[in-house]
Structure 1
Amino acid sequence: MSDRTFIRHVVFFSAVDENDVVRIVDGLSLLRNIPHASVFEVVQNSRVDQLSREIDVVVYAEFEDDAALTAYKAHPIYQQAIDIVRPLREMRIAADF
C-alpha cells in the first residue's frame, strides 16, 4: 500500500472515428480550466506499446482528496466537456487510486 495522500484520476478514451481524436483532446482540454486538480494533463496516446493500441487519449489528474475530485466532477465545465466528447468516443475507462 502507498502512503500517498492524494488521488490519481486516470481516464482512457477511444474514438469512434480516428479523425475525431483531436476534437476529443480539445474537448477534454477544457477540463484544465477546473481549479480543483493539482496536476492535470490530456495527451494523445503515443502507441509505443504494440500489444495495446485501443486507447487514443488519456486524461491524468491528481486531486488532494475525495472532496476535490467530487468538486471537479460537479463543476459546469465537466458537463460541457462530456457534451463534446461523449458523441465522439467509443470507450471510456476510468480509475481512481
Structure 2
Amino acid sequence: MIRHIVFFSVPEGGDADAIERGLSQLTENPHASVLEIGRNTRTDLYDQKVDFVVYGEFEDDAALAAYRAHPIYEKSTAEVRPLREMRIAADFDSAKAVKTRLP
C-alpha cells in the first residue's frame, strides 16, 4: 500500500475555506482507497506553518498514478494552486516502512 501525504499552507490573508473546498474534490477520485483532508489542529510546539493535510492510501503505484492522472485531481490542483502558499508531498510504501525499533 502506498501512503500519500501532502501539506499545504494558506498565505496570510488567504482563503482557507476556498482551499478546503478545492481539496475536498479529491475525495471523489475513485483511485484512492482512503482520502482525507484535515485542517491542522496546531498542537505541535515547534512548527505552525501547515494549514491543511491531505492523506491518501493507494493499493499500489499504479493506483497513485491513476489518481494523479484523473480529471478530478487536475481540477482540484488548478483551483488550489493559485490559492495556496507552500506544498510539500511525500509518498511511501507501507510494506517497506519501519514498524519496529531498529537495532
Aligned-partner SS, 2:82: helix
Runs of 4+ residues deviating >2 angstroms = none
Match of 1:10 among 5, 14, 27: 5
Counterpart code for 1:45: N
TM-score normalized by the length of structure 1 = 0.91
For structure 2, which runs of at least 5 residues remain unmatched after alignment? 93-103
Which residue of structure 1 lines up, in the alignment, with residue 100 of structure 2? none
User: Aligned AA for 1:66?
Assistant: D
What is the TM-score normalised by the length of structure 2?
Answer: 0.86
Identity %: 59
1:46 equivalenced with 2:41 (yes/no)? yes
Name the CA distance, whole Å, in 2 between partners of 1:46 and 1:35: 28
Q: When the two structures are aligned, how many residues end up with a matched partner?
A: 92
How far apart, in 2, do the equivalents of 1:21 and 1:32 lie? Answer: 17
CA–CA distance in structure 2, aligned partners of residues 73 and 44 of structure 1: 22
| Residue 19 (structure 1) shift | 4.2
Is 2:83 the partner of 1:78?
A: no
Q: Does the 8 A contact of 2:14 with 2:83 survive in 1?
A: no
Task: Give the residue type in structure 2 aligned to 1:10.
Answer: I
Tell me, yes or no, if structure 1 residue 58 matches structure 2 residue 53.
yes
* Distance of 1:45 and 1:24 partners within structure 2: 13
Rg (Cα) greater in structure: 2
Q: Which residue of 2 aligns with 1:96?
A: 91
